[in-house]
Amino acid sequence: AAPLEVDSAALAARRFNVLGKGLELSYEQPVHLVYGQGVHLYAPDGTDYLDAYNNVPSVGHGNARVAEAISRQMRRLCANTRYLHENVVEYAERLTATLPDGLAHVLFVNSGSEANDAAYRIAKALTGKTGAIVMANAYHGITDVVAALSPYYGPFAQKQEDFIEVLESPDPFRGRFSGPEAGAAYARDVDRAIAALEARGHGVAMLLIDSAFVSNGIVDTPPGYFTAVAEKVRAAGGLVVGDEVQSGFGRMGETFWGFARHGVVPDMVTLGKPMANGHPTGALVTRPEILADFTRKIDFFSTFGGNPVSAAAALATLEVLQQEKLQQNARKTGEFLRNELAGLQVEFPLLADVRGAGLMVGVEIYEEGQPSQKLAKRIANGLRQARVLIGTEGPDGNVLKIRPPLPFATQDAARLVEALRGVLRGL
Ligand code: PMP
């Protein structure tokens, strides 16, 4: 199709007029997109970008099978979720088949935030307690309570709620502990958190953890950490919630689910982002007795959660993921990419640490021995000018976040590394 004639600066001005300036756009020079296909994104003038950032279109932008499934179902029926419909049943059967045996009942919602919000409600209802433990700098979403459960927003954005305790980030690169004892050493912080919640009369309802530790800077947590904290929380009567919004559905390469890399089976997992390749869909999966306890106490109903169109989108996405072996691709391309980046470290020591799993890759940027957000931002903006899209992450904003759609191939990774080399040489 002929490129659209659109003035991006004028569009940005119109956006500020109606959405305000507070909702940020990425990059110093914002990217205006009209079309996406696979791992490529296109501007109105036809300029193509390599997408090394977006995890939501996990089976690729504009995936025809997902688009057709949505369109077909939308023309046929999209109705109230209290009617019987095969799609949601079929999808729940296929989804739970990918999860450990106990995680067998699904509650459908529309976003990761809603799934995490439901997790806290379920945990409170079951345990009769109110305390929650989260990781330093964790991000879990936007509802009032989930925002409170997200230290990412920082101490100035909100007051620290009395029912929440925050754990020290288990970061072997930057943190206090490393070596074989690091997992157990970091896990000791949960003893303090449990004692504090009990002393304040809350007790522990749940521990909520993003098993990819994305907003911590995609840290490689020390072995044994997650199992140790999970054990302590359960011993205190709390439930373990795995936030799989980032780490689920094959991205981590080695395993289909992020928690599996840590050798933990959570009591609940929360899902979103890549679940339906961009169609807004979320879910919580838990053990039947846990969900039954909640639905006995609370009449839970989501108007859109699990509707026939969302279920069709999620089903098509899961089928493509499995048939095109995208988890295996994430593993292979991710390994190649980390190897290439490790090669670049020799020439550019400012790449202080290369880490991650599958297609969730973090690169720590240092300048004069200190984390440098400024330099990380310059690199991300430089790559954007070179038509490769990545982001920045972490408590200091100095970690390059590379998290492409899962069809990302080794030649795409090679293009990314070449572009990065160019940017680094030009600094
Ligand atoms: N959990 C994690 C780990 C996330 O990264 C996000 C989104 N960035 C959420 C939850 C919230 O998901 P949503 O934006 O769909 O509400």
Where does the chain hold its CATH 3.90.1150.10 domain(s)? 8-59+325-425
Taking only the tens place, the pLDDT of each residue in 340-388 is 999 999 999 999 999 999 999 999 999 999 999 999 999 999 999 999 9
Average pLDDT over residues 296-312: 97
What pLDDT does residue 8 have? 85
Cβ-contact 95, 276 below 8 angstroms: no
| Cβ–ligand 1 contact at 216 (below 6 Å) | no
Domain 8-59+325-425 is in which class? Answer: alpha beta
From the CB of 113, is ligand 1 less than 6 Å away? yes
pLDDT per residue as tens digits for the range 145-182: 999 999 999 876 666 899 999 999 999 999 999 999 99
- Residue 17, pLDDT > 90, answer yes
Q: What is the pLDDT of residues 212-234, one digit of tens each?
A: 999 999 999 999 999 999 999 99
User: How high is the mean pLDDT of the chain?
Assistant: 96
Q: At the topology level of CATH, where does 64-323 sit?
A: Aspartate Aminotransferase; domain 2 (3.40.640)
Alpha-carbon distance of 392 to 209, in angstroms, equals: 20
ipTM over 0.95: yes
Residue 397 CA to residue 399 CA, distance in Å, equals 6
| Mean pLDDT for the stretch of residues 127-134 | 98
Euclidean distance between CA atoms 206 and 204, whole angstroms: 6
pLDDT (tens digit, 9 = 90+) per residue, 183-195?
Answer: 999 999 999 999 9
Percent of all residues in the chain with a pLDDT value above 70, rounded to a whole number: 98
Torsion angles phi and psi, residue 2, rounded to 5:
-65, 140
**Sign of dihedral through CA atoms 181, 183, 184, 188?**
positive
Pick from 140, 149, 241 the residue to mutate for probing ligand 1's pocket: most ligand atoms within 8 Å of its CB. Answer: 140
Residue from 208, 241, 273 to probe ligand 1 pocket by mutation (most atoms less than 8 Å from CB) = 273
- pLDDT at res. 7: 77
Where are the CATH 3.40.640.10 domain residues in the chain?
Answer: 64-323
d(C-alpha 193, C-alpha 202), whole Å: 11
Asked whether the predicted pLDDT for residue 2 surpasses 60, the reply is no
